[in-house]
Amino acid sequence: MRTTAKSSSSSPAPRRQPADPVLERVKDPEDLAGLDTAELAGLAEEIRGFLIEKVCAVGGHLGVNLGVVELTIALHRAFRSPHDVLLFDTGHQSYVHKILTGRAAGFDVLRRHGGLSGYPSRSESAHDWIENSHASTALSYADGLAKAFQLRGELADGSGDPARRHVVPVIGDGAMTGGLAWEGLNNLAGAADRPVVIVLNDNGRAYAPTIGGIANHLGGLRRDSQESPDSRESPDSRERPERRARHLFGELGLAYVGPVDGHDIAATEQALREAAALGRPALVHVLTTKGRGFAPAECDEADRMHAVGVVDPLTGVPTKAPKKSWTEVFGEQMGAIGAERDDVVAVSAAMVLPVGLGEFAQRFPDRVFDVGIAEQHAVCSAAGLAAGGLHPVVCVYSTFLNRAFDQVVMDVALHRAGVTFVLDRAGVTGPDGASHHGMWDSAILGVVPGLRLAAPRDPARLAELLREAVAVDDAPTVIRFPKAEAGPDIEAHTRMNGVDILYRAAGRPLDVLIVAAGVTARTCLAAARELDGLGIGATVVDPRWILPVNPHLTHLADRHRLVVTVEDGVRSGGMGTAVAQACADAESTTPVRVMGLPREFLAAGGREEILEGAGMAVRDVVTTVVDGLRAGPRAVAPELIEIPDVPPVVGKVNGSANGSATSKVNGSANGSANSSATSKVNGSAKPADRRAL
């Protein structure tokens, strides 16, 4: 029997717990069926308190999940997961779903190594069908699943047959600004015989308020419902009131139910059941409030505390004063450049503040274009801006540029458009896991004709390289930096043909050239100092522009016995691969060993923890160098050089000598010595000036 419940208050969640917590009795969605009205309201209150306590303690997506508490309870009462398929778009709004499907205990290690994922995860639960953490995907997943179930005779058809299965994508109005969502919607709406229940969670926001025509249309539907609060009828009554008779979704062919108060469990459940009984594609328009029940989130005009680090659960204030991030450094420099050049404009895909454009937007509001969650459009539109005489700076997270690769190639590079891409969260990002590591950009973008890619090692180089990038008006340029503390500047000893020389071991031969990409410079410098203590002469260079390869690097490579490249992108196809190819093309006989991230999906965890696990720590660089020098074939002096034994790093992708050459992952084509190799390396006569660069 359906129950009714009043909307919960939007005041701060009480900190006390009832004597008999309802949440402790809900271990599975089936446990929701027996709860009465008061218990459902109590459960919603408890879940909000739980989210505030746990997410504030470890960090994560808070505001968005506070807004879907009642909606998620209603979904699990109206449908039978995992028999019925619930798909959350974007997946960061799945915390309540995780709680209701028996994973509450995992929130103490949310988004940590080996802990609970911040997104749906198929390895965690049968209730998670997909692992989507990039927006606008759920409708396409739903279309494919519905087609599969229909062909197998399993898709629900409105008959009420419990053996049949419903497909229920839950998508936010922010995600509806993405083009992929409309491609999916077009196919769903055009299949009258393939019922799918689309839940549109409308809170008026992505991070900031949702923009564009769809936002205006949904706003009109909200206003209509407020003007006629008692006009909600059966979805078969399409004429009420007249001003809503021609809404967009009906024109596409979808049955439309709503708007419904998404904080009223009974009303939402009823709307979902009505839509499921229609036997045709339907959209349930649910109104929610992002950050509901937590005053600091509700009062946060920026993004309703969409995602937080560790914060005080009463005030929402970070427990530790944050150190200046790369994003903040970029924001300051972007503001300065905006004042220097009135032709520089900024483009964001629904993330003006997260990518550091707050200052620029405040100072130059007419020169910031937020296009919604639509990276393809952002890049193609930027090409148009460049054609119109401006210099656009497209600011996105590194992992999200993957979606617009075709536009980078065909609309920017082919047209020789002066567009600068700023890729925040490049390399290993940490707690958001596999989908958010920005580890593919160098490998993907390295094949784009004319494109130049820079990786600053410190704030001063970011300022310098950003100005160099926006000065290029006939080709795409890219700046990449991580989600991390920016740290102090690292000054170079000298700059040679655009390459910064960061370290040269005094009085040592030119044993190894270590090429550091961006922020890996600190690791490489620490490794060089350890190598110096082992009697090995290292040179550390920062090419600044890592792609295409600076020809001076091949000159430096030819003067050393070994080259080791270090980057926080995938090893296959990145800077190191390009350096090795450049050396081969220059007929250099110096072996090149490439260190980088493995070609696999990396789990969540701390940034340094992940890098160490991937074989990118100081010790790994030292081991790779020592192993490479053992393998030869070149030496620097006629005398014998002692190469110390360094214990292998077992299981590391970038590790060195640990058995035969076939065990190498990051070795060069020269192979490596086995564990019984002598620690002596015969030198061959070389000119004395090899000690000088």
User: Catalytic residues, which ones?
Assistant: 290, 375, 403
Give just the sign of the alpha carbon dihedral 413, 419, 420, 424.
negative
* Closest residue by Cα to residue 272 from 147, 166, 161, 120: 166
Cα–Cα distance list, 223 to 220, 231, 262, 512 (Å)? 5, 13, 16, 68
Task: Name residue, tokens 């997270």.
Answer: 397
- b/e per residue 318-338 (b: at least 16 CB within 10 A): eeeeeeebbbbbbbbbbbbbb
Please give the DSSP secondary-structure letter assigned to residue 650: T
Cβ neighbours of residue 228 under 8 Å, at least 6 residues apart?
240, 241
Look at the chain and count its residues.
693
What does the radius of gyration of the chain's CA atoms come to, in whole angstroms? 28
Q: Distance between CA atoms of 25 and 71, rounded to whole angstroms?
A: 19
Helix axes 138-151, 179-189, angle to 10 degrees: 30
What is the distance in angstroms between the CA of the first residue and the CA of the last residue of the chain? Answer: 82
Please give the DSSP secondary-structure letter assigned to residue 519: G
Q: 3-state class of 328 per DSSP?
A: helix
By CB neighbour count within 10 A (0-12 exposed, 13-18 middle, 19+ buried), where does 693 fall? Answer: middle
Answer whether 591's CB lies under 8 Å from 563's CB.
yes
Task: Name residue, tokens 């454009």.
Answer: 357
By CB neighbour count within 10 A (0-12 exposed, 13-18 middle, 19+ buried), where does 273 fall? Answer: middle
Q: Distance between CA atoms of 670 and 673, rounded to whole angstroms?
A: 10
Please give the DSSP secondary-structure letter assigned to residue 639: S
Q: Distance between CA atoms of 533 and 505, rounded to whole angstroms?
A: 10
Q: Distance between CA atoms of 631 and 95, rounded to whole angstroms?
A: 51
Answer whether 155's CB lies under 8 Å from 164's CB.
yes
Per 3-state DSSP, the chain is made up of helix, strand and coil in percentages (nearest 5) of 40, 15, 45
Q: Is 642 left (phi over 0), alpha (psi -120 to 50) or beta?
A: beta
* Closest residue by Cα to residue 63 from 174, 142, 138: 174
Concatenate the DSSP letters of all residues of 524-575 into one string: HHHHHHHHHHTT--EEEEE-SEEESPPHHHHHHHHTSSEEEEEEEEESTTSH
Phi, psi of 453 (to 5 degrees): -125, 125
Q: What is the dihedral of CA 116, 120, 125, 127, to 10 degrees?
A: 150
By CB neighbour count within 10 A (0-12 exposed, 13-18 middle, 19+ buried), where does 140 fall? Answer: buried
Phi, psi of 382 (to 5 degrees): -65, -35
Answer whether 658's CB lies under 8 Å from 675's CB.
yes
Cβ neighbours of residue 556 under 8 Å, at least 6 residues apart?
499, 513, 539, 541, 693
